[in-house]
Amino acid sequence: MENTIVWFRQDLRLEDNEALIEATRNADQTLMLYVFDERSTRIGPPRLHFLTESVLALRKQLRALGTELIVRAGKPEEVIYALAVETKSRWVYCNRERTHDEVYVQDRVEQKLWTIGRELRYSRGKMLYHTADLPFPVTHCPDTFAHFKKEVEHVVPVREPLPVPDSIPPSPPDIDPGEIPELSHLTFSATRKRITCFEGGEAAGHKALTGDALLCEKAPMMEEGRILSPWISMGCLSPKRVYHSFDTDSESGIRIHQNLIMRDFLRLMGKKYGDRIFYRAGISGRPLEIKKDMQAFESWKNGTTPVPLLNAAMHQLNGTGWIPDVLRKILAGYLIKVLQLDWRLGASHFEYALVDYDPCSNWVSWMNHAGVGPDSREDRTLHYDQLWKKIDPEETYTQFWLAQIQSV
């Protein structure tokens, strides 16, 4: 009898899940597993809440198919090693990650499995395009989005998403399914008050595709069209499913396609340049003159700057885990151009605060804003009072989100 383990990571879905399909094809018994890594301290309350909801939703989906999601909290390399020994599983299937912290974890898992003659089998599932379909190797990926888009859009086909397996082999018997941890039981910081805007899980993601997802009730989001990034980032929605759900007959469809292509570009930059996306000098190697003013950073992070629009945006970010792209760029520009702080401080806070955090999208974008990335542009310093009047002329957005912080 062949036993396998499917280690869910940022792929909390059944549709278009290559690791799941490969495991179910090659096993008599399959243990579905999610591990809350106790070392993951850079995750704020909104994303942690969204994550736990997504894991719970996945468990419900699997139970409906007659199997179980095993949930553990600890170090993945220790948890997976112990379960592989206990269940005599030969293979562990998972989605490959490409950035530093995620690679560290999967390398540790692989090394532990090697000591008992077991192997980790990697699959893909994060990108819109398969790298094998691209007209260039990753190392030759164009460094500007305009060039990348020209090379792939309308040229490289987007494959159809893989179907949900018709059946899934049962879990090995006598395995404690485990409880999904309460927030207070984890080592994550979860002290800031939040406003729930997004429901985690694959079913909720499909509701978002059709425009039926529940967002912040009566809260101005300053975003036209559908917000899908939380479900895409957590892996509740496949980028391919999202792509094929919209055509280019509408402005929203065009914008969603462009965002998905941009997401692939940023991920390929992360693959191409590795840990350099986390260096202060970025991939350019150009030294930056920065100020070391932590008081100014705390003011930016807590939304107590002299600019009401920026403060409102930060309160929305800290409370909900999400802000529209235009405000992300404005916040980044203020920290880099006005405060002249290390761009990595802003990137780190976004990593903690964003419900739709993705390592490559976040860090490569910040690197570009700082002028040390592959696709950097020299942005002028903005006049924030004029900008405020332009994008929030009635001050509806600003007044709403500034008011939310009063009760914290």
Global pTM value: 0.94
Confidence check: pLDDT of 354 > 60? yes
List, in sequence order, every residue forming a beta bridge with 6; answer none if it has no partner.
Answer: 32, 93
C-alpha to C-alpha distance for 210 and 252, rounded to whole angstroms: 12
Provide the token pair at 374. Answer: 């592959």
Alpha-carbon gap, residue 80 to 294, rounded angstroms? 40
112 part of a folded domain:
yes
Which of these three, 102, 124, 146, is where a domain ends? 124
Query: Is 390 part of a structural domain of the chain?
Result: yes
Mean predicted confidence (pLDDT) in 108-134: 95
Q: What's the CATH code of the domain at 360?
A: 1.10.579.10
**Cα diameter, the chain:** 69
Q: Is residue 337 part of a domain?
A: yes
Mapped to the 3 state alphabet, what secondary structure does the chain carry?
CCEEEEEECCCCCCCCCHHHHHHHHCCCEEEEEEEEECCCCCCCHHHHHHHHHHHHHHHHHHHHCCCCEEEEEECHHHHHHHHHHHHCCCEEEEECCCCHHHHHHHHHHHHHHHCCCCEEEEECCCCCCCHHHCCCCHHHCCCCHHHHHHHHCCCCCCCCCCCCCCCCCCCCCCCCCCCCCCHHHCCCCCCCCCCCCCCCCHHHHHHHHCCCCCCCCCCCCCCCCCCCHHHHHHCCCCHHHHHHCCCCCCHHHHHHHHHHHHHHHHHHHHHHHHHHHHCCCCCCCCCCCCCCCHHHHHHHHHCCCCCHHHHHHHHHHHHHCCCCHHHHHHHHHHHHHHCCCCHHHHHHHHHHHCCCCCHHHHHHHHHHHCCCCCCCCCCCCCCHHHHHHHHCCCCHHHHHHHHHHHHC
Region 371-382: mean pLDDT is 79
Q: Which of 273, 259, 278 lies closest to 359, judged by CA?
A: 278
Q: Which two tokens stand for residue 7?
A: 């280690």
Question: Residue 14 is part of a domain; what is its CATH number?
Answer: 3.40.50.620
- pLDDT tens column, 15-71: 999 999 999 998 889 999 999 999 988 999 999 999 999 999 999 999 999 999 999
Q: What is the chain's Cα-based Rg?
A: 22
Give how far the C-alpha of residue 35 lies from the chain's centroid of Cα atoms, to the nearest Å: 17
Quick: pLDDT tens for 218-236.
678 777 678 999 999 999 9
Task: Give the tens place of pLDDT for each residue, 280-301.
Answer: 999 999 889 999 999 999 999 9
**What is the amino acid identity at position 315?**
H
Residue 49 lies in a domain: yes
Give me the mean pLDDT over the 370-396 stretch.
Answer: 84
CA 15 to chain centre: 18
Of the three residues 124, 144, 176, the one that is the final residue of a domain is: 124
Q: Domain range holding 354?
A: 279-407
- Token readout for 295 is 């008081």
Q: Is residue 11 part of a domain?
A: yes
Portion of the chain with pLDDT greater than 90, in percent: 79
Whether the per-residue pLDDT at 192 is higher than 70: the answer is: no
Would residue 287 count as lying in a domain?
A: yes
On whether residue 369 sits in a domain, the answer given is: yes
Phi/psi of residue 30, nearest 5 degrees: -130, 125
d(CA 72, CA 84): 14
pLDDT higher than 90, residue 145: yes
- Cα 387 to chain centroid, rounded: 29
Going by C-beta distance under 8 Å and a sequence separation of 6 or more, which residues neighbour residue 59? Answer: 68, 69, 71, 177, 180
Structure-token pair, residue 23: 């495991």
- Domain boundary (101, 124, 147) is at 124
Number of domains in the chain: 2
